[in-house]
Amino acid sequence: MEEYVAELHEYMDTFYETQSVTCRAKNKRVLFAKMYDTFLKPSILQAKLNNLSAKETVELLAPKIGDWIRNYSVCEQLNLRNDVKDNTKATQLRSEGNKMFHPNVKRYIEAIKLYNESIAFSEKGSTERSLAYANRSTICLKMHRFEDCLENIWLARDSNYPEYLTEKLKQREKEAKNALAKARNKNASSSKVSPDVVEEPELSYPVKENAPQVANCLELRKNEEYGRHECLSKAYNKYHRYECGLLRDMREVFEEVPLIAIRMIAIAIATFDNNPETLKDHLDALDESNVNGFTMDWNKATQQDIFNTVHVLTTNQERRDSMFVAFHIFNATILHTLILERTELGPVCGANPTTNKLLLDLILRYMHIVECNSKLLSFNAYKVKEYVAESFAVGCYPLICMLNHSCAPNVQRITLRDGRCAVFVIRPVLEGSQLFDSYEADHKSHERAMRQLMLSLAYSFRCTCEACTFNYHSINCNISKNRKKLFYYYSILKTHDSKNVRKLMSQLRHFLNETPKLYPADEVCISQITFVRSLQILYNQTSENAEYWKH
């Protein structure tokens, strides 16, 4: 046990060294370690000796952790504080933004951040909010984000923009519309991939009758080895009403998993008319064994049907060590406390202990689901003279989450501009074979020992894929032949010219289809990486060019 704890601490040390983590997030980790070392060890030992199930372990630990958090004033020690609307602060932030926008400064990105904060602190419908929107529209115009400019102008008017300034807003609107029309005409005659013109990928086979987003050559089978199956008002009603008072503390104190879990809970409650008791009744009646996103008729699926497919995603809770379970309970309890204190769910849960317990259970469950099933969304980010693939968000896709892992995957997830995720085959797949995704642990970039550690800690399984069984090597970039090949491909892709990208992609597809038995030779792996990069260039969202970067 002590050896495992040491390994966990080493892993968490690595995490905090490589991530951008606030002091309050580090303090939270220190408080958890203190609780574990001085208070929780006997209870965890008891759970292990009694061979308690994951559910029983949670029932044992949750009350103890909750009491410790309250008795040691953890929320106060983490300096958790409720943000309230404050027009005076909004005015101050907008004034600071104006300084960043000044012609002698032109730090537009910093100005936008300050205007965003001003909007967040301003009262709904206030003049202060309308002025911040209007100022933000000016920045968008300067940065040639014409659609964003027009949207912010609309928001300014909707927020009671002062009558005496409307002429200025009309002039800006006219300028943005004219510039947008010219940009679209230019895009129509250009072969270069533009952030405003992203092509739509098409399925290579006819669609499944019940799932138009899936090719009909695929079927779903359970695998015993793997244990799983192969606009603003709307935003407010759906989740912002539950998140608004939490976001600042959540971003500074928690990693991404709890944040996404809260969003999932907010959407779940909104799906059931913002009535937690209706949600509970639904879950009590739900037979999870009958929920199957692959056989469900997506043409007729309701929002509640879609919710079901996410709610039943694997949690791996039974496989997790008690210490990890305790860490999730620690986070979930703090979040639960903040939700009760700062949102409309507080009075509801206070009046109904059953609903109160449901909320805590859902926070914990969705944290596990996010950890096991979330997928990184990427885009083409401009980084001084070149574009690179960068992650910008995380999503849970109920069908894609059914794909099992391999360190030598045969499919690749590509984030489309509208937030959907497409799955492309990147290696030949024999009829009847399984599709494998990579859970961010690919042999081409990580050695086996590192992959095994990552997968064990994050997903609680030991990988036995072909790459781990036969110990496939990572690509050796020190070999001259590999460097030359990579540089050659890079020289073609760096301009993002769609004609050249498509031509290269066609050549790579042919090569990969003709050489499956050579895998994992470096030449094949390099071709596969370049093929994936070609897909990203054609279908990912792309950030603005160098003109945007200088801001």
Instruction: List the chain pLDDT tens, one digit each, 551 residues.
Output: 455 445 445 544 544 444 456 788 889 989 999 999 999 999 988 888 888 888 899 999 999 999 999 999 998 899 887 777 899 999 999 999 999 999 888 888 889 989 999 998 999 889 999 999 999 999 999 888 899 999 999 999 999 999 999 999 999 999 999 999 988 887 665 545 444 444 678 887 788 888 888 887 777 665 655 554 445 556 666 777 888 788 878 888 887 888 889 989 999 999 999 999 999 999 999 999 999 888 899 899 999 999 999 999 988 888 888 888 899 999 999 999 999 999 999 999 999 999 999 999 999 999 999 988 888 777 776 555 666 777 777 788 888 888 999 999 999 999 887 778 899 999 999 988 999 999 989 999 999 999 999 998 888 889 999 999 999 999 988 889 999 999 999 999 888 888 999 999 999 999 999 999 999 999 999 999 999 999 988 888 776 544 544 54
Q: pTM of the entire structure?
A: 0.78
DSSP 3-state of 230: coil
Q: How far is CA 139 from the centre of its chain?
A: 27
Amino acid (1-letter code) at residue 316: N
User: Would you say the C-alpha torsion 392, 396, 402, 404 has a positive or negative sign?
Assistant: positive
Token pair belonging to 445: 């970039």
| Alpha carbons 501 and 167: distance in angstroms, whole number | 46
Encoded tokens for 380: 């083409």
Residue burial 79-102, b: 16+ Cβ < 10 Å; e: rest:
ebeeeeeeeebbbebbebbbebbe
The helix/strand/coil state of 396 is coil
Cα dist. 529→201, 277, 525, 533 in Å? 19, 49, 6, 6
Distance, first Cα to last Cα, the chain: 52
Phi-psi region of 427 (alpha: psi -120 to 50; beta: other; left: phi over 0): beta
**Cα–Cα distance, 538 to 234 (Å, whole number):** 31
Q: How far apart are CA 196 and CA 210, in angstroms?
A: 32
